[in-house]
Amino acid sequence: MRFQLTEDQRALRGGVRELLTRRFGPERLRAAVEAPGRLQQGLWRELGEAGFFALRLPESEGGVGLGLPEAVLAFEEAGRALLPGPLVATHLAAAEVPGAATGETVVTDVGGCGLVEWLSAADVVRGDDAEAVPLRSVDPLTPLHRVPGPPPDRAPEAPGADPAAVLLTAAEQLGSATRACELAAQHARTREQFGRPIGAFQAVKHLCAEMLVRTETARAAVYAAAVTADPADIDTARLLADDAAVRGARDCLQVHGGMGFTWEFEVHLHLKRAWVRTHRTTDATESEERLAAELLAGST
């Protein structure tokens, strides 16, 4: 399997990064944190105009006509920039909900864990949100509601999460893991203690190296799953990306020390968003159980 990106794929990734850097850079990120729960409609429509939500729609239907690998690259950049909003839900609704493809309609859904992101800002909610109650979200850029489920003994057989939703969420996690690795390396090069950059100390070197290994392992898994679209590959990608994002953000905080918890730095925001994403589709245990069943079936 070839993992070298094509020229068009590199151009797509570069274009999305340039758009997000210009429209949602560090200053805009801090402004969003100071005004939580407010979706930037102008940016949302600009994403629609750029084809972000219509990437996988056929050209005959007004879309870009690309595939899952290209969508993964775009969502990886969104995760790297900590772009807020129900991006995955709106992207997946592009073929069914009028206005979703162009960013005119904001779509959210009731996730497998009963969580609804950005309920108050959404124009369309997919799923039953009649009894949704607000939660205090750990991530200031992801307002949450919870839909109470039926008692376990009366719960209907729940459908599995959309594999594309799981993979695109994993791509966002990969973007966060990549950014955390970059921030840690940058801080290790510039922050000095005892007259030396802290990156010269073995403990910091090990933290940064482990972050890089986890990130690149997750990248290989996410990119492979985007090509194969195999359910087992997607579960693997999800678990590795969750691990890289959460542990990477924690290690990045360790490198930054107390400074990483201040609002002037984005490090803690990556950790908080990574936590929220782990509950977006289904519980990680379900992915683990499916992979265990797959391995058991393959060994017999």
User: What does pTM read for this prediction?
Assistant: 0.92
pLDDT of residue 38: 87
Inter-residue contact 110 to 145 (CB < 8 Å): no
Residue-wise pLDDT for 84-116, tens only, equals 999 999 999 999 999 999 999 999 999 777 899
HEC string for 161-215? CCHHHHHHHHHHHHHHHHHHHHHHHHHHHHCEECCEEHHHCHHHHHHHHHHHHHH
Residue-wise pLDDT for 111-154, tens only, equals 777 899 999 999 999 998 988 999 999 999 999 999 987 544 43
b/e per residue, 201-215, with b = 16+ CB within 10 A? eeebeebbeebbebb
Distance of CA 140 to the CA centre of its chain: 15
Residue-wise pLDDT for 164-190, tens only, equals 999 999 999 999 999 999 999 999 999
Query: What is the distance between the alpha carbons of residues 206 and 197, in angstroms, rounded to a whole number?
Result: 15
Query: What is the distance between the alpha carbons of residues 32 and 219, in angstroms, rounded to a whole number?
Result: 28
Query: What is the distance between the alpha carbons of residues 253 and 261, in angstroms, rounded to a whole number?
Result: 7
- Above 50 in pLDDT, residue 71? yes
CA dihedral 148, 98, 120, 281 (to 10 degrees): 40
- How many CB atoms within 10 Å of residue 298? 8
Query: What is the distance between the alpha carbons of residues 240 and 249, in angstroms, rounded to a whole number?
Result: 14
For residue 37, give the nearest of 137, 105, 173 by alpha carbon.
Answer: 137
Residue range 67-77: average pLDDT? Answer: 97
**How far, in Å, are 4, 13, 30, 142, 175 from residue 242 at the CA level?**
23, 21, 24, 17, 11
**How far, in Å, are 85, 159, 273 from residue 162 at the CA level?**
19, 9, 20
- Above 60 in pLDDT, residue 155? no
pLDDT of residue 137: 94
